[in-house]
Structures are given as C-alpha cells and as structure tokens.
Amino acid sequence: MKPFAKKSLGQNFLVDSNYIEKIVAVLSLSQEDTVIEIGPGRGALTEKLVEKAGKVIAVEIDNYLVPFLEDKFSQNNNFSVVHEDALQIDFRAINNSQLTINNGKLVANLPYYISTAILQRLIEQRKCFSGMVLMLQREVVERITAEPGNSERGFLTVLVEAYMSAQKLFDVPPEAFRPAPKVWSAVVRLEPKAIDIADEKLFRELISAGFAYKRKTILNNFKNAPQKLKERTGDAEKFLETGDIDPRRRAETLSFEEWLELYKMLK
C-alpha cells in the first residue's frame, strides 16, 4: 500500500505527468549528472530522474517513505535514498562526499511552511550545485523574483539575488498534487552567481535591518538597527547619502547593486 501524505510534514505529492515532464526537461539531464532530489514523495518524479541522470540521491525525512522508495527503486543501481532532514543535511558530505563543487543538480518540491528556511540552507551550500529547480508556493516564487519597487520584494529577494540568478519558469495548479493544496505552486530555476561577498553574515544583517519594518523608510530602519550594525554604519542618514540613497526611500525600492554598494561602505 502506498504511504499517505502527512499534513504534519506539509506533504503534497506531485502526480501530474505533464508537470513532471516539464520539470525533467528544464533540468537538461545527462548520464554525467548527479541529481539531489529533496522530498521525492512516492517517487513519481524520481522515476523520470533515474532514467535520465547518471546518479540520483533522494533526501527524505519521512520514516515510512524511505523503505517504500528503497523497495520501489531497488532495481536501479543509480538510485539511493538518504534519510535526513533537508534543513540539517550537509550536501557537501552526502553520499561519501561524491558531490563536489558545481557537479550536482538539485530538484525539490519544498513544503510551503519551511521553504524560506530551506532556501537559506541551499544558498549556504550553493557551491555544490550547478543549478537548482525548485517547486514552491507561487507567492514565494513571486517574492524571490520581485523587481525593485515591487511591494513583494523583501529580505529573501535580496538574499537570493546576492548569490543566485532566479527565473520563474511556470505555475503548477493545485490539482496537479495529491492531496491538492489550497494554493498554487510555481517552479523556479536558481543558478549560482560568481559574486564575492566576503562577510556573508554582515551582508545578511544589513539587509535584515533595512527590511525590518516594511512600512518604514530605510532611514528609520537603519536608525533602529542592532547596535553592532549601527557602529559600522555610523550616522544612518550620512551613510545612506554617501551611498547616493535617498533616506526617504523604502527598502523594497533598492536594487541589489545599491545594497551591494552599502555593504562595501561598512566600516
């Protein structure tokens, strides 16, 4: 008997073959590729991955799905399953360190309630992958691809922009899943950028402070930033003016290039 989807794990299994084929197509797989799949569910997408890729490593947290997947793909020598939480896993060490710099591709159907946390985790370990194809709640995809001036733009948008190029590919309706979620999903492609931000923690602190209160101006947000950051920015108004930023602007109007310039100015 097939395992049931667990509401506690935010499971909604993709079952529509048309969308499965579209995801496989955008991955552009060959026998040279190693694919990490987060949240394989009952293996509908996995079936196509093992046909196309040289190696498929599924990361699954569900105690019941792990043996189900091991049995289902027992005849596929290029498949293995890792029983771990994607929020905790070290992709650099997965499967005896067979995943090295930029030689893996990642595909994931991410539970909506932890998508932000997983995105941050994937960004931290982005050097393991040449690209990622993620299925997220549509609102999350719209947020991470929001242009400057869009009210959806926030901390997560700039964080993704700093390290990844993001392209929304297509929407996926609720009826493509079992059980059907109450919201639409969307598929986004992320590819690592060659940008050097030496102090990543400091950069995150800067944009986090800037977006602390979305209705406030960036000046007011920086005035209320944590003390350690204020020690580096100095007078908030002068700091912004030096960066050629109108203090009356809101954080969502700043481009990534403007955020990067502010980061470079930190003492």
Helix then strand then coil, % of the chain, to nearest 5 = 45, 20, 40
How many Cβ atoms from other residues are within 10 Å of residue 208's Cβ?
A: 16
Q: SS3 for 34?
A: strand
Report the distance separating Cα 118 and Cα 221, nearest Å.
26
Report the distance separating Cα 78 and Cα 49, nearest Å.
10
pTM strictly above 0.85: yes
List the one residue out of 241, 227, 239 whose CA is nearest residue 263: 239
pLDDT in tens, the chain (267 residues): 565 555 555 568 899 999 999 999 999 999 999 999 999 999 999 999 999 999 999 999 988 999 999 999 999 999 999 999 999 988 877 744 454 445 689 999 987 788 889 999 999 999 889 999 999 999 999 999 999 999 999 999 999 999 999 999 999 999 999 889 999 999 999 999 988 899 999 999 999 999 999 899 999 999 999 999 999 999 999 999 999 999 999 999 999 999 999 999 996
Residue 110: predicted pLDDT? 86
Residue 234 phi, psi (nearest 5): 70, -150
- The Cα angle at residue 240 between residues 234 and 245, in degrees rounded to 5: 175
Token duo for residue 8: 């506690």
DSSP bridge pairs for 167: 189
